[in-house]
Every structure is written in structure tokens, then in C-alpha cells.
Structure 1
Amino acid sequence: MDNLKKLWGLAIAAALTSVMLVDPALAQEEAPPSTSPEEAYFVFNTLLFLIGGFLVMWMAAGFAMLEAGLVRSKNVAMQCTKNIALFSIAGLMYWLVGYNLMYDGVDGGYLGSFTWFAHPEHGAEDLTYAAGTSDWFFQMVFCATTASIVSGTVAERIKLWPFLIFVAILTGFIYPIQASWQWGGGWLSEAGFSDFAGSTLVHSTGGWAALVGAIILGARSGKYGPDGQINAIPGSSLPLATLGTFILWLGWFGFNGGSQLALGTLGDASDVSRIFANTNIAAAAGCVVAMVLTQVIYKKVDLTMALNGALAGLVSITAEPLTPTFASAALIGGAGGIIVVLTVPLLDRLHIDDVVGAIPVHLFAGIWGTMAVPLTNGDTNFAAQFIGVASIGAFVVVASLLFWLILRFTIGIRASAEEEMEGLDRSELGLEAYPEFGRGSQTI
């Protein structure tokens, strides 16, 4: 019996061995396909673009909530409509003309090509495909951010469609042309100008366009009295404004961290971490400094100043979030908080009505952050930074002035006094954001 069992065991072993020889796949699992170091590097870089991109896209929600909280309730739906519309228009315009105008064949010049972006056919070996599409997505959300800055400044008195036409011009042409001078390899990049994530290219550009629009549009009715008095116009919801600020703060990690543009090495991963930390330090310093300064000047802490102080700290560090130490990041962000507290009343004295404080936050703090780059980055200098700030400012002001004036003298840009008094929710959209608390509550 034992011999019979041994014979059966030998027969089974022989049979299994013969099957394995015929089909080696049964002897061991098929080895997974190997990934080259270049492909792994590429995958991580693309992942950074995509994660950073959707974080920056989430900033669109932050702008919408910040603006919704800082306008009166009769204009909240209008601000929400403007924000979702401008993001959509930016996405289309950046595909149709913006991306290639910014990147295609700039070669040390002033603009790229007037063609639309089309991702190429791809295969497993084509490493340029994901770079193109992921980079397009990441750069597109930056473009939309520029338009969001304008929206809050001109709120509560601008008509919907003229504003959206200007957004199409800004995102399709004005923003990509000036950004090509630096990020597209244009003349400013060769002149030594440095703007890591866009204190000037994104934030000051939006700020200049907003400033010109606010001047041409004029102030809201009742904001400034005939004898020079300044009348405060409180917003509808400070909790919404606070939520919007936190969303923007979160999205900024994608804004600055993603601008490293690489995550395939230990050095890149360390740099992204450093950028995150410096970004957070600057925002915190901007908020605290704004709170302390308003307490000293006005004897009370102003929440809106605290919110804008944090945002100004974020804008200030955006031009160079990698090279500063923690202490330097705090000083740069804290200076942004000072800028907000001092320039918000300055605009009021000039009778420039900026509903959400976007001009102090994005324009003035953006200029400061760009000019501060040589303090921590020895590869640039103050002369190159000034040339970049001045040239981009001049271009955006002239282009914005031209298109704002064309809109004003053709289709008009400002709502009538009656429409403004009624609220743009009803006059432009025919609805209310809070019907239970407005006139709609009288209807059962």
C-alpha cells in the first residue's frame, strides 16, 4: 500500500511538471511590466499638476463664497452666477486661444500663436501627452483665478453680459499675452524677472484690470456722500466670507505647491513641502498682523481686514514661496497684512469703490511680493523685478482701459440707479438668493 501511494505521488508530480513546462505561466505569476525611471518621474509630475489643478479650481468656490458674503443679499445670486460663468468662459477661452498664445512658439518674444490647444494622439510610450493635457488643466485654472479677482471689485453695479464679455477678453488674450513674457519663455524670462507662482502674472494682472474697471464703472450709489463722507455698506454674510477665505487658503497650496512643476525626485518632494509650509506661515502672519493693526488703529478687530490680511499674506508669498526661511515668509506675509489695512481706506479716500478689497489684496500685495523676491532669491535683482511689474502693469492697464471703454460706449456696463437699488438679482436674473427673507417672502 505504501509503495502504491508513492507511485501515485510520483505520477502526479510528473504530470504537474509536464504542464508547467508546456505553460510556464502556471509555474509562476507573470511579472508586472517594468516602469522606467523616466516614466515614474513623469507619472509623479503629472499627478502634481492634476492635484494642484483641482485645488486651484476649488479656489473658484472660495471666491464665490467670499464675494457672496461681502455683497448685500440682493446681489448674492448675481455674484454666484458671475463666478460659475467666468470659470466656464475661462476654460473655453484658454482652450480656444489662451494656452497656445501663452506657450506656443514664444521663444523670447511677446506672444505665442493664435491657435487652439489640442492634445496629440498618444501611446504608452508617448510621455508628452500627459504633460500637455495636465499642464493645460493646471494653467487653465490660474487663468480663471485672474478673472475672479475682477468680479469682486466691480460687484453690485455692473451688468452681467458686459462683465462676461470682458472676462472672455481677459482670459483669452490679456492674461495669456503678458504671462507668455515670463512663463512662456518670453522676453521677461530672459531679462531675469522671477515670479514663481504669479504674484504679478496672476494677482496683479487681475488687480490692474479690476482697478481700471472700478474707476470707469464708478462707485455704488450711496457709497460716498457729496461732502466726501464714506458710508460703510456691510455685506450679507460674514460666515460665508470666512468660509470663502478658508477655501482660498486651502486652494493656495495647489497654487504655490503645484508651481514647483515637478514631484519626481526627493528634492522636488522636499521643495513642495517647503512651499506648503512657507505659504501657510505667510497667510497666518498676514492675518495676525492685520488683526493687531486694526486693534491699534480702530480700537476693534475688523473681521474683513483679518480675512483680507490672510489673503494678502498668501498673495505676497506667491512670487517666491520656496527660498524664504520661515521667518522671512512671516515677514513677507505680515507686510501684506499691513498693506491691506493701510490701502483699503486709501482707496476710499480716492473714491475708488472696491467691494471686497481685491485691489489691496491682489494688486498692492502682489506688487510687494514680486519686489520682495530678491530678498531671499539671489538669482534675480530689484531692477529686473521692477521692469516686470511695470511692463505687465502698463500692458494690462492699457488693454483693460481699451476694452472697458469699448464696452461702456457700445452696450454699456453699468446698471441703472433703479436696478442697482432693486438689486441685480432681480433686475439681471429675475430671482433672489434668499427669497424667504426678501420681498419674495410676502408671496405664499
Structure 2
Amino acid sequence: MTTKLSLAGRKIPALVTLLLLAAPTAAFAGEEFMTQTHANILWTLLAAILVMFMQAGFACVEAGFTRAKSAGNILMKNFLDFALGSIIFYLFGFGLMFGLDAGGFVGTSGFSLAGVGLTDPDSQWTLTFWFFQSVFAATAATIVSGGIAERTKFSGYIIVTCIVTGLIYPISGHWAWGSLWLGDSGAGWLEGLGFMDFAGSTVVHSVGGWVALAGAMMLGPRIGKYTADGKAKAIPGHNIPLASLGVFILWFGWFGFNPGSTTTADGSIGLIAVTTSLSACGGTAAAMFTSWFKYGKPDISMTCNGALAGLVGITAGCATVTPSASIIIGIIAGILVVLSIEFIDKILKIDDPVGAVSVHGICGAWGTLACGLFTAPALNDGAGGLFYGGGFSLVTPQLIGIAVCFVWAFGAGLIAFSIAKAILGIRVTAEEEMKGLDIAEHGMESYNGFQIFSNE
């Protein structure tokens, strides 16, 4: 996520670009430079709007993959994640993520739009950059929703969302992306090690996935998910077409997520769009054939998750790998997601209704590692990944970043859910769960009069 790409795919912080406005050079004289600046603002804003629309995709996927009696609760959580999450990120998260660095671990400067002007170029970019970052924060929060669906108290979930957007996501985000706003004065410690995560395979997706894992473990499985002897039972989603539509919406929005992370309107966005889409295609096909081989039929839900797995997997390296490499990354992600969903469900006996931990946590970690394996020298100042003869120089910081972000997000997630449990509780009663969270938590049905759901 950057303001401008160099030949190496490295990033020039936002304020560095803006400082050039005060002293234009011959190469960027007056009107020409302002045209580029306005183009950057327009592109970044458009990308942010695409990412915001991903919230609708998450809502459709999560609602479709769960039962009808809790569909409205899923939608409420997605509204909450964006609405309250954006406010919390505005009040607290942005400063922690992009403020002046304190020892490489956290930003310390506050941030308020109250003092920002409305018409000068610096202020226009400030507003745009904040909005772009806010939709990423909401994405990290909403990943948690699906992994803990159908048994979570809405009031307790509010506390978790505030902690994720105000603390958990911004702090680990600072470690990897702190320099994007204030340059070296804001750089986090993972950046200093050479950690690469262009658009957030780990920073956004794995962090959300690991918090979801913590929540799913603390909540326990849904009633009826496991038999007395521990055998996993399938609880089919009530609307697969809705879930599939959500996947297509997310795929569409990802062209804001990945190409938009340049925050620069230049030719690099074409390559990023190509690698993003090809990886998703590879993930879709791989999950389809893997499920076909394992279960005898090409499973629709696994295929949907394969598309998302490919998208998550390419997010870290989308600007620094070739199109051919992106297909390989997507294929591996598609296979991984099928195996991971089954392992978590049947071996670990953790109830993740939509596969959030596998799609975002596991495949996010894979994508981050893949960045160290497949980075092309021509796209990274001559420094190639392991498969390009670069040895472990790029792999090592990737492994460190994957590990520390897991420890932070999972550990902080356990604390967040513990706080919510102590204050308001995190699990509904057995009777409320059987009725469905739409009635129990919100006093209404999503499909009133249709009676298309059961309590089994």
C-alpha cells in the first residue's frame, strides 16, 4: 500500500509526494504535476469505494453459508464493522498505525480531520488516504464475523470490533506499513527487516483470520455441529446463490484492494490487476478439482472459497510477481483451503461456519510466504525470491512477519473476546441459538412468513 511505486515496487510515503508540491521541479512542473496528483486522488478514492463495496460481498458470503434463522444477524455485524469500525479507526486506529514511530512498535501521533482544510492539495490527499485506510480496517474486522457466526452475542461482538479496528489491526499494521504516511519517521520494525506485504495478505487477512480463530475457539461449536463421539456434522448454508454472488462481489472489489494499494494512477496497476485475477482463477479451479477428487463431486462452497483463497494468496505479492507465478500461487491456495477447512473442522474440531480461518488466516500466511519465494528481480530492484536465486534473504523476514502477526493477532484476539465475555458475554443461550439470532438478538426474521429454516 503506497503512494508511488519505484522500479523496485518499493513505496514512497504519501507526505513525501506531497512535499514536492511546494517545490516542483522541471520534470514535474506546475500543471503537469497537479494533474498527476489529482489523478492519484481520483484513483485512490475509486479503489477505496471498490473496497467498501466488498463489505456487501462479505455479508452475502457469510449469510449464504449460514442458516436462514441468523442471516439478519450476519448483516447487522457487517454494517457494524464498517460503521462503528470506521469511527473507531478515525478516533484511535489511524494514529496508532501511521503516527510518529515509537521504537518500531506503534505510532504515537494523534490524528483528527477537524484541523484538515477542504480545498488545498495536502488536505485533499489527507482525506483520501484516511478513507482508503479506513475501508481496509473494516475489512480486517469483518473477517471475524463469519468465523463466529450463529452463536455470538451481538453486544459482545461490538466490543470485539472496537478492539480490532482501534488496536489489534493498527498496531500490527504499523509494524509492516507505518512508513506509508510519514516516511522513515513512521516506519515499523517489520519494515526494517525487509518484510513485504503489498496489500495485506498478512496485515489485513491473516490478522482477521487469527482473531476469528481465537473467537471460534472461545465460543465453542454451534449446537449440533458435533456428535457425542466428536464426529463433525455438516450444517449446510441456506443460500448458496447468495454466497456465490458475494464471492463475485469480493472478486470485483479486490481490483480496488490490490491495484488501489499503489495509491498512484500509473501503469503498474495493470500488472497488479492481471496477477490478482489469474491467482483467483487458479484458486477457483484448484479448489474445484480438489473437492471433486476428495468428495466425488465438485463442491460449490469449496469452489467459492477457492476463489477467495486465490485472492487472499496473491495480495502480498501482487505487485512483485509475474502473471505465471500468480497462477501457481492461486493453485496452491485453492488446494490449501480445501485441506485446511477439513482439518480445522474434523481434526481440530473448531467450528468455523464459513471457512474464514482457512481462507484468510492460512491462505494469507501462504501468500505472504509466496512473496518471498516468487518475487521477480525485475520488479524488486534486482532482489529476487528464493525461486529466482535470491536465497532466503526475502523468505526469512516473511517467516518472521507471519509468525509474529499470528502471535499478536491470536493472542490479542483471545484477550479481546475475554474482555467482551467478562463485560457483556459472548455466547447466546442454547434456547436463543435454537430460535436463531434474528429473533433472539434483533426481534425479527430475515425471511418472515417463508418458514424456510429449521432448528436442527
Instruction: Tell me if structure 1 keeps the 8 A contact 2:68–2:452.
Output: no
1:415: which partner in 2?
428
SS of residue paired to 1:230: coil
| 1:405 lines up with 2:418 in the alignment | yes
| 1:56 lines up with 2:58 in the alignment | no
Bigger Rg, which one: 1
Instruction: Tell me if structure 2 keeps the 8 A contact 1:73–1:236.
Output: yes
1:31-42 matched pairs, under 5 angstroms: 36-42=31-37
1:31: which partner in 2?
none
Task: Report the alpha carbon displacement of residue 127 of structure 1 after superposing the two structures with TM.
Answer: 2.8
1:154: which partner in 2?
148
The match for 1:197 among 188, 199, 204 is 199
The match for 1:208 among 204, 207, 210 is 210
1:9: which partner in 2?
none
What amino acid sits opposite 1:94 in the alignment? Answer: F
Distance (whole Å) between structure 1 residues aligned to residue 118 and residue 214 of structure 2: 47
Q: 1:323-372: per-residue Cα shift (whole Å, max 9, x none)? A: 22221110001111001110111011211000101111000000000001
Distance (whole Å) between structure 1 residues aligned to residue 365 and residue 112 of structure 2: 31
2:21: which partner in 1?
none
What amino acid sits opposite 2:126 in the alignment? Answer: G
1:120-131 matched pairs, under 5 angstroms: 120-122=115-117, 126-131=120-125
Instruction: Tell me if structure 2 keeps the 8 A contact 1:181–1:187.
Output: yes
What amino acid sits opposite 1:372 in the alignment? Answer: A
| 1:168 lines up with 2:162 in the alignment | yes
Would you say how many aligned residue pairs link Structure 1 and Structure 2?
401
1:327: which partner in 2?
324
The match for 1:101 among 92, 96, 100 is 96
| 1:293 lines up with 2:290 in the alignment | yes
Query: Structure 1 residues 330-339 or 319-328, which shifts more?
Result: 319-328
Task: Report the alpha carbon displacement of residue 120 of structure 1 after superposing the two structures with TM.
Answer: 4.2
SS of residue paired to 1:222: coil
What amino acid sits opposite 1:318 in the alignment? Answer: T
1:22: which partner in 2?
none
Query: Structure 1 residues 273-282 or 375-384, which shifts more?
Result: 375-384
Distance (whole Å) between structure 1 residues aligned to residue 108 and residue 372 of structure 2: 32
1:170-249 matched pairs, under 5 angstroms: 170-184=164-178, 185-249=187-251
Task: Report the alpha carbon displacement of residue 35 of structure 1 after superposing the two structures with TM.
Answer: 5.4
Q: 1:363-415: per-residue Cα shift (whole Å, max 9, x none)? A: 00000000011223254611111111111111112211112112223321001
Distance (whole Å) between structure 1 residues aligned to residue 255 and residue 240 of structure 2: 24
- TM norm structure 1: 0.88
Distance (whole Å) between structure 2 residues aligned to residue 37 and residue 181 of structure 1: 35
Instruction: Tell me if structure 2 keeps the 8 A contact 1:199–1:318.
Output: yes
SS of residue paired to 1:232: coil
What amino acid sits opposite 2:201 in the alignment? Answer: S
1:435: which partner in 2?
448
SS of residue paired to 1:181: helix
Distance (whole Å) between structure 1 residues aligned to residue 423 and residue 319 of structure 2: 46
- TM norm structure 2: 0.85
Distance (whole Å) between structure 1 residues aligned to residue 360 and residue 116 of structure 2: 39
Instruction: Tell me if structure 2 keeps the 8 A contact 1:119–1:129.
Output: no
The match for 1:132 among 126, 129, 132 is 126
Instruction: Tell me if structure 1 keeps the 8 A contact 2:45–2:132.
Output: yes
Q: 1:283-326: per-residue Cα shift (whole Å, max 9, x none)? A: 01100011111111111010000000000000000001022222
Task: Report the alpha carbon displacement of residue 49 of structure 1 after superposing the two structures with TM.
Answer: 1.1
Instruction: Tell me if structure 2 keeps the 8 A contact 1:90–1:144.
Output: yes
SS of residue paired to 2:267: helix
Gaps of 5+ in 2: 1-28, 179-186, 378-382, 384-392
What amino acid sits opposite 2:416 in the alignment? Answer: F
For the aligned residue pairs, the C-alpha RMSD in angstroms reads 1.6
Instruction: Tell me if structure 2 keeps the 8 A contact 1:119–1:133.
Output: no
2:25: which partner in 1?
none
Q: 1:262 to 1:107 in 2, by over 3 A?
A: farther
